[in-house]
């Protein structure tokens, strides 16, 4: 589908004027021109509320960003549909984009197509996750890709047995998954036999 | 509809709406029942499992409600859409819900919870798989996403079948889980009832495979698994009818487990404080 598919309208558009942001005008009274790169940088830098060292840019959640005059449209891909942090992320994106000079309105929409996949996490994001004690998803997903009809395809087997995550503390791959459900919808629980530490892993 | 909150909702009787309500309501009510284990599950792992499964179910319902509502009108704000989603999830009268009666059954004990979970997750996996071919792009895309998440539920359900049946028919766990499956499987046949307007939704391509047609596919999956686990006598006959106490959910006929238990509890805050935000 095109970036402006109807699916982009599924989530509530947050047509919220950034709170506390004064109309930005230069001394001559002319509205400032919005620099799209500045908006992108501000949005990319919004931290994940549940994983503060990692930003939504590093997680690959920013699908599309459009700047028209002072109006900004941000399309985000939720990692898991049940992520309770989406409302906070939406609010933080409105605030971050709204703080860029010249921005008068920010609309945030969540969409499900294309689906978010762990491959979207950047190298820096993976390293930050590891530092935070969460094993990032490793390697390519065996069956993920695009079907012959052009639809998105996600892996449907839970492949942890073939996916021993390196321990985020000692790096050993002598680890096992203890439980498929963890503290958030996007994480599971693992144990490192080498350093005897439990740790969490970001789900594939 | 309850008249407590004034929101403009689409026609609830249309075939498209009826199908999407069945998808959403199955997930919503199953999610609520799963949440009953939060804090009291037999182990910490199962507490996390059913809490996550509950969270997923309620959010999957939320996503289907958003699909049902379609693109927001130009003037609608995020709050307007939340109000509409809440009106769909919490503002309907009990007879307006379209989930199967199985979903509203109380958790009873952990064996019944796992038996219901296993029958339901295999049904939901097949239905989501079918929906990835929906003619409506939003429905197909959401089905891809939700199916990806639901595979964890399925793995969890299958794990418990093999674990509880591993001791063979002389084992107490095998016997107790067999009794739970014997209670859940006949009622699970209610999942395959058609909603009003389903014929039109199938012709339209919105619902690529009807509920009734999913039943043989479901039996083909659970049948071999039941036989392998030593529960061959529980494989439902192709023409077995839904027990009358578990029939009619897709048409809004619900048991006291819903009308006197889940529904009043689930909607209490919404009815007491119309338009509340949380």
**H/E/C letters for each residue in chain B?**
CCCCCCCCCCCCCCHHHHHHHHHHHHHHHHHHHHHHHCCCCCCHHHHHHHHHHHHHHHHHHHHHHHHHHCCCCCCCCHHHHHHHHHHHHHCCCHHHCCCCHHHHCCCCCHHHHHHHHHHHHHHHHHHHHHHCCCCCHHHHHHHHHHHHHHHHHHHHHHHHHHHHHCCCCCCHHHHHHHHHHHHHHHHHHHHHCCCCCHHHHHHHCCCCCCHHHHHHHHHHHHHHHHHHCCCHHHCCCCCCCCCHHHCCHHHCCCCHHHHHHHHHHHHHHHHHCCCCCC
Query: Measured between beta carbons, which residues in chain B are less than 8 angstroms from residue A115?
Result: 141, 144-145, 148
Report the alpha-carbon distance of residue B66 to residue B60 in Å, rounded.
Answer: 10
Is the link from the previous residue into A114 a cis peptide, with omega within 30 of 0?
yes
Contact A181 B137 (CB under 8 A): no
Tokens for B154, please give them.
Answer: 């399925």
Element (H, E) at A176: strand A175-179
Distances (CA, A) of A70 to A110, A154, A191, B112: 21, 37, 49, 57
3-class SS at A93?
helix
**Parallel, antiparallel or unpaired: strands A105-110 and A71-76:** parallel
Taking the Cβ of residue A144 and every Cβ of chain B, the question of whether any pair is shorter than 8 Å is answered with no
CA distance B3 to chain A (A): 23
Report the alpha-carbon distance of residue A157 to residue B220 in Å, rounded.
Answer: 19
Contact A112 B156 (CB under 8 A): no
* Cβ-nearest to B59 among A81, A156, A178: A81
CB B83 within 8 A of CB B7: yes
- Residue A83 pLDDT exceeds 90: no
* Cβ-nearest to A7 among B49, B81, B141: B141
**HSE (side-chain half, CA atoms, 13 Å) at B256:** 0
Q: What is the pLDDT of residue A168?
A: 87
Per-residue model confidence as pLDDT tens digits over B148-195: 889 999 999 999 999 999 999 999 999 999 999 999 999 999 999 999
More confident residue, A179 or B260: B260
Report the alpha-carbon distance of residue A6 to residue A51 in Å, rounded.
Answer: 30
CB B222 within 8 A of CB B214: no
Size of interface A-B (CB pairs under 8 A): 121
Query: Measured between beta carbons, which residues in chain B are less than 8 angstroms from residue A89?
Result: none
More confident residue, B228 or B1: B228
Distances (CA, A) of B252 to B90, B92, B100, B183, B247: 15, 11, 9, 22, 10
Q: What is the pLDDT of residue A12?
A: 45
Distances (CA, A) of B3 to A24, A147, A199, B134, B209: 44, 46, 49, 34, 35
Per-residue model confidence as pLDDT tens digits over A109-166: 888 888 888 888 998 998 898 888 898 876 433 344 555 555 555 544 454 455 678 8
Q: What is the pLDDT of residue B5?
A: 63
Best of B53, B148, B152 to substitute, by most chain A Cβ atoms within 10 angstroms, is B148
Q: What is the pLDDT of residue B264?
A: 98
Tokens for B32, please give them.
Answer: 């609520």
What value, to the nearest 5°, has the Cα angle with vertex B75 and ends B20 and B142? 30
Contact B71 A154 (CB under 8 A): no
Q: What is the pLDDT of residue A119?
A: 83
* Cβ-nearest to B148 among A14, A15, A115: A115
In A, minimum Cα distance to B140 occurs at A151
Query: Measured between beta carbons, which residues in chain A are less than 8 angstroms from residue B156?
Result: 180-181
Per-residue model confidence as pLDDT tens digits over A5-22: 333 333 444 444 544 444
Per-residue model confidence as pLDDT tens digits over A180-193: 888 888 888 899 88
Contact B52 A185 (CB under 8 A): yes
More confident residue, B278 or B196: B196
- Residue B211 pLDDT exceeds 50: yes
Alpha helices in chain A (DSSP H): 36-44, 86-98, 123-131
Question: Model's pTM, two decimal places?
Answer: 0.85
CB A71 within 8 A of CB A104: yes
Report the alpha-carbon distance of residue A11 to residue B161 in Å, rounded.
Answer: 37
Best of B73, B85, B145 to substitute, by most chain A Cβ atoms within 10 angstroms, is B145
CA distance B144 to chain A (A): 7
Contact A10 B63 (CB under 8 A): yes
Q: What is the pLDDT of residue A183?
A: 83
Q: For residue B103, what is the DSSP state?
A: H
CA distance A89 to chain B (A): 14
In A, minimum Cα distance to B66 occurs at A10
Taking the Cβ of residue A112 and every Cβ of chain B, the question of whether any pair is shorter than 8 Å is answered with yes
Length of chain A: 204
Contact A81 B149 (CB under 8 A): yes
């Amino acid at each position: 589908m095109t970036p402006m598919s109807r699916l982009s309208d599924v989530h509530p558009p947050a047509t919220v004027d950034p709170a506390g942001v004064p109309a930005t005008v230069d001394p001559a009274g002319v509205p400032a021109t919005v620099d799209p790169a500045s908006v992108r940088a501000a949005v990319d830098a919004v931290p994940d509320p549940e994983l503060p060292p990692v930003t939504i840019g590093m997680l690959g959640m920013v699908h599309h960003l459009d700047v028209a005059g002072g109006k900004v449209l941000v399309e985000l891909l939720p990692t898991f549909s049940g992520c309770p942090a989406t409302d906070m992320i939406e609010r933080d994106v409105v605030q971050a984009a709204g703080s860029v000079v010249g921005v008068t309105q920010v609309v945030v929409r969540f969409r499900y197509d294309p689906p978010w996949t762990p491959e979207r996490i950047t190298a820096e994001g993976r390293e930050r996750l590891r530092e935070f004690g969460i094993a990032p998803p490793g390697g390519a997903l065996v069956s993920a890709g695009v079907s012959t009809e052009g639809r998105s395809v996600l892996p449907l087997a839970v492949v942890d047995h073939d996916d021993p995550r390196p321990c985020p503390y000692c790096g050993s791959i002598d680890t096992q998954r203890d439980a498929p459900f963890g503290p958030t919808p996007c994480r599971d629980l693992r144990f490192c036999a080498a350093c005897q530490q439990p740790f969490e892993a970001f789900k594939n | 509809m309850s008249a407590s909150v004034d929101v403009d909702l689409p026609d609830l009787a249309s075939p498209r709406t009826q199908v999407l309500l069945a998808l959403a309501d199955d997930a919503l009510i199953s999610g609520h029942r799963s949440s009953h284990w939060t804090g009291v599950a037999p182990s910490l792992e199962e507490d996390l499992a059913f809490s996550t499964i509950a969270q997923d179910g309620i959010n999957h319902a939320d996503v289907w409600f958003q699909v049902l509502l379609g693109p927001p009108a130009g003037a609608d704000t995020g709050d307007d859409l939340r109000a509409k989603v809440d009106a769909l999830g919490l503002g309907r009268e009990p007879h307006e819900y379209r989930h199967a009666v199985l979903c509203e059954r109380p958790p009873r004990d952990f064996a019944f919870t796992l038996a219901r979970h296993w029958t339901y997750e295999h049904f939901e996996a097949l239905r989501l798989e079918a929906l990835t071919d929906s003619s409506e792009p939003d429905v197909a895309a959401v089905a891809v996403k939700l199916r990806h998440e639901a595979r964890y539920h399925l793995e969890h359900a299958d794990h418990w079948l093999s674990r509880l049946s591993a001791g063979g028919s002389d084992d107490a766990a095998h016997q107790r889980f067999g009794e739970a499956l014997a209670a859940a499987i006949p009622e699970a046949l209610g999942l395959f009832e058609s909603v009003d307007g389903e014929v039109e939704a199938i012709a339209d391509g919105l619902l690529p495979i009807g509920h009734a047609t999913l039943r043989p596919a479901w039996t083909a999956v659970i049948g071999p698994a039941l036989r392998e686990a030593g529960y061959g006598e529980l494989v439902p006959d192709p023409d077995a009818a839904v027990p009358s106490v578990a029939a009619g959910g897709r048409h809004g006929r619900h048991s006291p487990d819903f009308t006197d238990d889940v529904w009043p509890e689930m909607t209490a805050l919404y009815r007491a404080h119309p338009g509340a935000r949380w």
